[in-house]
Structure 1
Amino acid sequence: MGGSPPRVLHLAPGAVARLAGPDGVVPPGARLVVDDATSAALARLLTDAGVAHPEPSHPEAPDAVDVSVVVPVRDRPAELARLLDALGDTAPGLGEVVVVDDGSNDPDATARVADERGARVVRHPVSRGPAAARNTGAAASSGALVAFLDSDVVPEPGWLAPLLGHLADPAVALAAPRIVAWTGARSGVVSLASTLASNARKAPSSVARRAVARYEERRSSLDLGARPAPVTARSRVAYVPSAALLVRREALGSGFAEDMPVAEDVDLVWRLAGDGWRLRYEPASQVAHEHRDAVGPWLARKAFYGTGAAPLALRHPRRVPPVALAPWTAATVTLLGLQRPWSTAAAGAVTLAATARLARELARSRRRDRSTDTDTQRLRRHFAGTARAARLAAVLAPWGLGGAVWQAAGALTRHWWPAAVAGSLVSRRLRRATVAAAVAEGLADWWRFRPPGAGPLDAATHVVAHRLDDLAYGAGLWWGAWRHRTVAPLRPDLTGKAPS
């Protein structure tokens, strides 16, 4: 049981034998060595389901010389120098580095920085946006693999090898590192001059900027967490940002959508997945990013991200709903939201009925035709399987309901907050639900990401920053929906089924 979304797999005895220890039980840290067609098929099943992950090393991984690095930049010579210095120290032996100057006001400064560090420059006379710059760089390069790195990132030591390890699998088109916060002192691989210049520009000088910097270090939209995962829509890692990507050239096709000023990376990821490629998120590889910490630009960036939901929803139907619930969880959450004694009791009844139905389905999926079994053996197996299914359903159903409540609270304070605020003016129940969701979800988020020793003041500033994050993103989402004349990014998916 595992993966995202969660699922239950029933393994054949041969598969269990490949994974089990001496006691016949499959431990959480079980390892599978792929050495024949059967083990390869099992590995593909487990990794596609997200219940197992490939180790980020492989003796047949491509070499660094096969990698062309493409860096889109506009008027950031100091950041570009910092990135190229880091590349020279953390990934020696790269095939080439192509810098695409996307209409800089001072192209000579960009060219000088690139020339001093052995990078080749391609220039757009006028800015065409980062998507077009990446496409231009990819077309001008020749490596079998293309690493896209934004100018405001700093690769950390050892970042490239884990990504190359995933590309040893010919079915994998893309591998992405974890994007962590750049603090100015995470590694000693960049020049002192570029580090001092960067720190002088970004040193937080106010309480608000320090609070934003702390929040971004924990909850940046670019940081997808410490656990590896397959990348697929409506899962724990539904996308990876274009700040740092390693892509197989043959899979890249037309590249990034140049008519999308935002979310072009999500669009590319989902098109690759739709073409049948596997995509991997690998946190063993880390690339630092210089986050915004000034409140105004930070909120503007969050709103900008929100505007990308509408074009994504139109291009990829049912992949960006604010909530995706099974019918029974949607009904239960709605009943709980009514805040009546009878509706709470009805929610409990729906949950019990759903649990019983799930137990029946799990028991049915475990049945096997055992013609040689005696009647007594079949009866014993039936009751044992039914008991196991009931115990599993008693875990899965509340787990699903908890996830549904979490989604609903998040949508109420993020995607739907304008409607929630308007409704709260006339409905006391909606007002109570919105306030409770804002406080409870914010505190739960702080608890999940809190650093050791954090106290009430840290919790309060985190909740405020989290709510501002949601307000800005939601405002951008509604603005984008209005501009594209669509409600697709606001519409919930209550089918309980994955998109086709």
Structure 2
Amino acid sequence: MTLPRGFVVELDRHARLVDGGRALLGGHPTRLLKLTPRARRLLVGRLLPVRDAASALLADRLLDTGLAHPVAAALPPPADPRCTVVVPVRDRPRQLTRLLRSIGTTHPVIVVDDASRDPAGVAAVAAAHGARLVALAANVGPAGARNAGLRLVTTPYVVFADSDIVLDPDTVPTLLRHFADPRVAMAVPRITGLPTQAASWIERYENSRSSLDLGAHPAPVRPGTPVSWASSACVVARVDALGEGFDAGMRVGEDVDLCWRLVAAGRRVRYEPAVRAAHEHRVRLGDWLPRKAFYGTGAQPLAERHPEFVAPVVFAPWSVAFAVVLFAGRRWSAPAAAGVLGVVTVRIARKLDGTRHPYRLAVRLTGNGALATLAQTGALLTRHWWPLTAVGCVFSRRIRRAAVVAALADTALEYRRDQVTLDPLRYGIARRLDDLAYGAGVWLSALRARSVAALRPRVIR
């Protein structure tokens, strides 16, 4: 399966052309890709249009390594763009009405009523908008409800949209363009908050830091990368790539599981933030905290199905040494940490041998790795392992100091990055409550399963 002519990719914003364009540095994991003279001529600035077999091969390689992403606006629509919208719902007639209005009459719609308490209300809304209704006698959860709708789809593509979503007119057409790549099995938009007139402080936090919002930059959805999963709140997928669909035995994390199964099968999943779907967030504290904890309970089922992908943090061996010596908080900690970074810099520079400035590049990469290590260590203390941190704080001043520094640094960095319309104090409180609730869910699922698989850090070379 090769990319068609006219397909265009653009280098990732972090990808760097080095040595006068003779090599590319970036991707996930970071790598140095040396370019032949012919390959260099294929690039037009930071764009690579597919014109022949050679450019198709290079573009495919850049997509695989995360060094480039498709330019959705420049891609052709699929030859057969027909798709069916499948909406799993349980009650929520008001939200269902809003969603069906946003879908319009362009595509056929299947509404799967997952054993509503008021089935007549759902049936009336479906009938009013000309949607096909499938009423389930027993509640099977969102995964099972989507699968029930999927079995009735006869079009090449399917759109899964949750009832609390509102679709923009250009969302589905733009996502369909990604299927010009024959390896793409699924494409997802950015999930943003649904605007309201009087936003509470929790809603303002969610609108900037939602668990479903994967950021402003395009990315491959792949475990171990910045966008390691995608929400099924809004999905466009190739029907023949889905097989039986979602794992009906999972009530949470079924979207992550599907993404990872598709990637393991050699397919691609694309995240396209140029288009959006608005989501009605939970904005009351009593609803918001249980939902965050519910998300956390998905960690253990995923760890059972994908043990190689689920870990609260992923460290290289040198990252462990760097974190340990800093956490020790001794006089020798800073010099020892500097020594670790020095050794790593030399080792990276040797791998970059042949470039003009191997040590300059190595220092930059080592610095990025050090910052990532500190961020992951902070997340471990304040999010995934917070029950252990709380116990440690009772007995150790060093742990108390580390926990406070981690919490404050995380709040300061994320507040600046998120550009939230909320004061730093309430943002910090919401951030910590978010972490506490999610971490509690992870521990609850681990205790139920009597397994620490979802809590174990992973060390990889």
TM-score, reference length from structure 2: 0.92
1:8 corresponding residue in structure 2: 32
In 1, the alpha carbon distance for the partners of 2:458 and 2:402 equals 21
1:459 aligns with 2:424: yes
- After TM superposition, give the deviation of residue 391 of structure 1 in Å: 1.1
Deviates more, 1:53-62 or 1:273-282: 53-62
1:113 corresponding residue in structure 2: 125
1:429 corresponding residue in structure 2: 398
- After TM superposition, give the deviation of residue 168 of structure 1 in Å: 1.7
Q: Residue type matched to 2:428 in 1?
A: V
Structure 2 residue aligned with 1:482, among 444, 447, 453? Answer: 447
Q: Residue type matched to 1:406 in 2?
A: A
1:369 corresponding residue in structure 2: none
Same amino acid, percent of matched pairs: 48
Q: Residue type matched to 2:55 in 1?
A: S
Q: Residue type matched to 1:15 in 2?
A: A
- After TM superposition, give the deviation of residue 170 of structure 1 in Å: 1.2
1:191 corresponding residue in structure 2: none
1:100 aligns with 2:112: yes
1:192 corresponding residue in structure 2: none
SS at match of 1:292: coil
In 1, the alpha carbon distance for the partners of 2:33 and 2:276 equals 31
1:373 corresponding residue in structure 2: none
In 1, the alpha carbon distance for the partners of 2:293 and 2:270 equals 27
SS at match of 1:8: strand
1:41 corresponding residue in structure 2: 57
Q: Equivalences for 1:170-249 in 2 at 5 Å?
A: 170-184=182-196, 204=199, 210-249=200-239
Q: Residue type matched to 1:479 in 2?
A: L
Counterpart contact for 2:317–2:459, Cα < 8 Å: yes
In 2, the alpha carbon distance for the partners of 1:467 and 1:50 equals 32
Q: Residue type matched to 1:101 in 2?
A: D
1:196 corresponding residue in structure 2: none
Counterpart contact for 1:68–1:143, Cα < 8 Å: yes
In 2, the alpha carbon distance for the partners of 1:494 and 1:31 equals 35
Q: In the TM superposition, what whole-angstrom CA distance separates every residue of 1:156-176 from its partner, at most 9, and x where no partner exists?
A: 121112111001211100000
In 2, the alpha carbon distance for the partners of 1:295 and 1:471 equals 13
In 2, the alpha carbon distance for the partners of 1:444 and 1:211 equals 19
Structure 1 residue aligned with 2:96, among 80, 102, 105? Answer: 80
2:361 corresponding residue in structure 1: 392
Q: Residue type matched to 1:52 in 2?
A: A
Structure 2 residue aligned with 1:442, among 392, 396, 411? Answer: 411
SS at match of 1:32: strand
In 1, the alpha carbon distance for the partners of 2:286 and 2:31 equals 42
Structure 2 residue aligned with 1:306, among 280, 296, 305? Answer: 296
- After TM superposition, give the deviation of residue 352 of structure 1 in Å: 0.3
Counterpart contact for 2:83–2:158, Cα < 8 Å: yes
- After TM superposition, give the deviation of residue 181 of structure 1 in Å: 0.5
In 1, the alpha carbon distance for the partners of 2:38 and 2:330 equals 52
Deviates more, 1:292-301 or 1:485-494: 485-494
2:313 corresponding residue in structure 1: 323
In 2, the alpha carbon distance for the partners of 1:84 and 1:164 equals 19
SS at match of 1:305: helix
In 1, the alpha carbon distance for the partners of 2:359 and 2:35 equals 19
Bigger strand share: 2
SS at match of 1:100: strand
Structure 2 residue aligned with 1:492, among 429, 454, 457? Answer: 457
- After TM superposition, give the deviation of residue 341 of structure 1 in Å: 1.3
Bigger helix share: 1
Larger radius of gyration: 1
2:379 corresponding residue in structure 1: 410
Counterpart contact for 2:115–2:139, Cα < 8 Å: yes
2:4 corresponding residue in structure 1: none
2:286 corresponding residue in structure 1: 296
In 1, the alpha carbon distance for the partners of 2:150 and 2:295 equals 24
2:143 corresponding residue in structure 1: 131
Unaligned runs of 5+ in 1: 21-26, 185-198, 205-209, 367-384
In 2, the alpha carbon distance for the partners of 1:425 and 1:105 equals 47
Q: Residue type matched to 2:72 in 1?
A: P
1:54 corresponding residue in structure 2: 70
2:8 corresponding residue in structure 1: none
Q: In the TM superposition, what whole-angstrom CA distance separates every residue of 1:312-355 from its partner, at most 9, and x where no partner exists?
A: 11110131211111111110111001011112211111110110
Compute the RMSD of aligned alpha carbons: 1.4
1:160 aligns with 2:172: yes
In 2, the alpha carbon distance for the partners of 1:472 and 1:62 equals 46
Counterpart contact for 2:289–2:437, Cα < 8 Å: yes
